[in-house]
Structure 1
Amino acid sequence: MRTSYVGRLAPSPTGLLHLGHAATFWTADFRARGHNGTLLLRNEDLDPQRSKQEFVDAMLEDLAWLGIEWTPPMIVQSQRLALYREAFEKLLATGHAYPCTCSRRELAQMMQAPHEDTDDEPVYTGKCRPTSNAPRTLQSGMNYRFRVPDGEAIRFIDGNMGAQQLTTGKDFGDFLVWRKDGLPSYQLACVVDDAAMRITEVVRGADLLKSTARQILLQRALSLPAVAYFHTRLLVDEHGTRLAKRHGALAIHTLRQRGLKHDDVLAMLQA
């Protein structure tokens, strides 16, 4: 029987988990336990070029080694494409999505703001944005963007960082929801899955605050329930750069091979 609190872990199998993941996952586990709730696991394997089974296996081993327990079954995004397609077609039918023909080179040239390490998508200038939000039909081989409202302040109360406000057109613009290879964007897949899994609170890193604002807009457009958010602080290396999968020396798998114990890793996170 599922309790009222439902959290989730949502790693992508494109590399080994590192200390930053451990910090976020421990927080998610702590909050689920504190609410006597359920913690689910979602394998976000929608990058066919980079997702590998060896990383899935390592992910499961690392979670077990860290002592983080989750409730089966594991949700696998690559097995849920029909759900994402249905949601995308609803966005098309309601005029919330439009095709974008801009190449990567054009996008790089037209950026209104530099690509920040804490954001996964620059502010789009609106080159392909139509003058109206009339319903549209799907065209294969096209990227599609979500049309954000002009100049709207997206506000939410974060469980860790307090009141947050991000403004459309300033902090983020029209964002990708469907790729020309026939796959959903991270933003769309995440919103659809969180609703389907009945997630009540999303625990993730502070680098995804803008993604949260985007996903709130998608929830509204798709008439999906809102969720609570808890953004954790980012771990950084000795140069002040946030940890990423390229930091192989700080991967949980590597630390395990070096003989570190569960408590050793916890101490590194609390240092």
Structure 2
Amino acid sequence: MITRFAPSPTGPLHLGHAFSALTAHDRARAAGGTFLLRIEDTDRERSKPEWEELIFEDLHWLGLDWPEPVLRQSDHLDDYHAVIDALAARGLVYPCSCSRADIRAALSAPQEGAPPVGPDGIVYPGTCRGRPMSSRQEGDALRLDIARAVAETGPLQFTETGPIHPGQHQADPEELVQGTGDVILARRVSGEVAYHLAVTLDDARQGVTEVTRGEDLFSATPVQRLLQELLRLPRPDYHHHRLIRDERGRRLAKRDDARALSLYRSEGVTPEEIRRMVGL
């Protein structure tokens, strides 16, 4: 059993991160398996060495350990782009020049109900779909043509071991097309590889057998299963756990500095007390 905790070094870890890391570490230890730490630092503008160092300090303080060296996504950018090129050669990728404002404008025409929202926000309406890669210009995003991709794959099944959605699941191809839309593989302005592709390739690269993460990412699983099938990658199990929320019911974010682990450390809180605070 191999699982992982994969934070981005863009701010301090908070109680929600502690719960996710401890959950993954505890599950790996109970199974006699391996807990991995991965640094997801493709956001080069917001990722900072000092935040990465703080991640190591916080996790060691919690009593966690992991094999070295740690995988950093920034070390594998060429690998990600090579995969995008291979998908493009199969006619599954197209360039997109739409900004967020363009997408909102395209969806502002009178229609029944609100626009569908998927794991990446408002579902892209397909404005640039059909553009050939030869028309790509500097600054274009690269999107996966979900409908074409679904046509190339078989059933998209996955096993959920978490307490919220336990059991066997099968992604609905129509829901992928209508409810997820053509997800971004590389971003428009920076050219950075986007989450879905990077995390899918990294889990395969590291031999992850169980993906441990928050329930807010459950809806991202079908598109990642689609990428696994397209690229002939192994299929891990998934363990989506509950989220740690504030007193108003909102999930914690890195802006919640008052719940930063480094602050608790400085105030003399113990790792055992952190475990109790998050319900472990």
What is the TM-score when the length of structure 2 is the normalising length? Answer: 0.86
Match of 1:157 in 2: 159
Question: What is the number of equivalent residue pairs in this alignment?
Answer: 262
Please point out which of 197, 202, 218 is paired with 1:209: 218
Contact preservation (8 Å) 2:116, 2:179: no
Bigger shift: 143-152 or 36-45?
A: 143-152
1:172 to 173, 176, 180: 180
Describe the SS at the equivalent of 1:270: coil
Q: Counterpart of 2:102?
A: 106
Q: Does 1:54 align with 2:50?
A: yes
Structure 1 SS opposite 2:225: helix
Distance across 1 between alignment mates of 2:115 and 2:65: 40
| Deviations 1:38-91 (CA, angstroms, capped at 9, x unpaired) | 111111111111111111011000000111111111111111111101111111
| Alpha-carbon shift at residue 241 of structure 1 (Å) | 0.5
Q: Secondary structure at the match of 1:189?
A: helix
Cα pair 1:89 1:138 within 8 Å, conserved: no
1:78-121 deviation per Cα after TM superposition (whole angstroms, max 9, x unaligned): 111111011111110111111111112112334563768xx443
Query: Residue type matched to 1:159 in 2?
Result: T
Q: State the match for 1:242 in structure 2.
A: 251
Q: Deviations over 1:8-46 (max 9, x none)?
A: 110000010011111111111011112211111111111
Which of 131, 144, 147 is matched with 2:145 structurally?
A: 147
- Equivalent positions of 1:13-162 (< 5 A) are 13-111=9-107, 113=115, 119-130=119-130, 136=133, 139=136, 140-149=138-147, 155-160=157-162, 161-162=165-166
The answer to which of 121-130 and 85-94 deviates more is 121-130
The percentage of aligned residue pairs carrying the same residue is: 40
Amino acid at match of 1:192: L
Native 8 Å contact 1:123 1:169 kept in 2: no
Gap regions ≥5 residues in structure 1:
none
Q: Structure 2: how far apart are the matches of 1:174 and 1:247?
A: 32
Q: Which amino acid aligns with 2:121?
A: E
Structure 1 residues 50 and 115 mapped into 2: Cα distance closer, same or farther (>3 Å)?
Answer: farther
Contact 2:15 2:278 in 1 (8 A): yes
- 2:260 maps to a residue whose letter is A
Describe the SS at the equivalent of 1:113: coil
Q: Per-residue displacement from partner, 1:161-200 (whole Å, max 9, x unpaired)?
A: 2244562134311100012333211111111111111111
Partners of 2:223 and 2:206 in 1: how far apart?
19
Question: 1:9 is matched with which residue: 1, 5, 10?
Answer: 5
How far apart, in 1, do the equivalents of 2:135 and 2:90 lie?
12
Root mean square deviation, CA, Å: 2.3
After the TM superposition, which segments of 4 or more aligned residues of structure 1 sit over 6 Å from their partners? 150-153
Q: Which residue of 2 aligns with 1:184?
A: 193
Which protein is richer in helix relative to its size?
2
Correspondence for 2:271: 262
Matched-pair contact (CA < 8 Å) for 2:97–2:139: no
CA distance in 1, matches of 2:209, 2:149: 28
Equivalent AA in structure 2 for residue 45 of structure 1: D
Which whole-Å CA distance do the structure 2 matches of 1:15 and 1:188 have between them? 23
Q: Which amino acid aligns with 1:243?
A: L
Looking at structure 2, the residues matched to 186 and 125 of structure 1 have their Cα atoms a distance apart, in angstroms, of 20
Give SS of 2:3's match. Answer: strand
Q: CA deviation at 1:141?
A: 2.7
In structure 2, C-alpha distance between the alignment counterparts of 1:38 and 1:20, rounded to whole Å: 21
Question: How big is each residue's C-alpha offset from its partner over 1:129-186, in whole Å with a ceiling of 9 and x where there is no partner?
Answer: 119xxx8458343201111138978543311122445621343111000123332111
Amino acid at match of 1:172: T
